[in-house]
Amino acid sequence: MRVLVLAAVMVGIAGAASAGSIGDSAEVEVRTDNGRSLPLYPLAAGYPVRKAYAEAVKGDHYSVVIRNRLNRRIGVVVAVDGRNIISGKKSWLGNNERMYILGPYETGEYNGWRTGADRINRFFFTSAADSYAASFRDRSAMGVIAVAVYPEVRRYEPWSGDSPADVYKGSSAREAAPSARSKAESAGTGYGREEYSPSRVVAFEAEASAVEKIFLKYEWRSTLCRKGIIHCGNDREPRNRMWDGDDGYAPPPGIYSRWQ
């Protein structure tokens, strides 16, 4: 039986789904330190994949809150900007990666990169150039919070209901090196202040396939406006080409016209 990691901070039994959460087997929410849930804008995706855009605010520290909706233990592989949040390694959301464990109907709150058995460094929204992933020259999944949900292989041993226990660090996490500012202010997650977060290891055998995968693409509001994900106050009604015409004359062929 593989030895993996136990759930992080347990915060009680999950309540009803909110507008800021997504998922069926596990419900995922991104919550800032001021208690605000990031607004989510779901996209059409085939089950068991769930996708949504999320609106981030630069400088906000945040947590990924995951509620187990199943009556059995699950392991959750969590990757931010493509990096496993426990090991810091590039993640493929596989069942052989470091993962957090949640008991039946329990909730975990994960708010940083694990840097030791009792330490994490906080998540915060920053520019992609200053993100933790960028320090590894890895922009392959920038701005994405990904969660893969693995139920435990069926056993007959009862779940002990152990009290809040945390995780085990899989590999040495390195502090992000300073990086050059990018002109394109895309969003990323930084390596923030250190905080106390005790952990321990548990035995857990994950099923071969994830029962659900959840992907949140977080962006600044200006980017969401530009992409048309949200309708912003400065949006202009599209022109009607058959109504809002030009009073000029027909241009010679091949010359660009703004009304073409």
Q: What is the tens place of the pLDDT at every residue in 110-121?
A: 999 999 989 999
Rounded Cα gap, residues 220 and 55, in angstroms: 6
Beta bridge partners of 232: none
The single-letter code of the amino acid at 17 is: A
126-171 pLDDT, tens digit per residue, is 999 999 999 999 898 999 999 999 999 986 555 555 533 343 323 3
User: For residues 99 and 92, is the Cβ–Cβ distance under 8 A?
Assistant: no
- Indicate the pTM of the whole model: 0.74
15-63 pLDDT, tens digit per residue, is 333 358 898 899 999 999 999 999 999 988 777 899 999 999 999 999 9
Tell whether the model's pLDDT for residue 232 goes beyond 90.
no
61-107 pLDDT, tens digit per residue, is 999 999 999 999 999 999 999 999 999 999 999 999 999 999 999 99
Helix (H, G, I), strand (E, B) or coil at 244: coil
Domain spans of the chain, in order of start: 3-227
Rounded Cα gap, residues 119 and 133, in angstroms: 19
35 CA to centre of own chain: 17
Tokens of 198: 């005790």
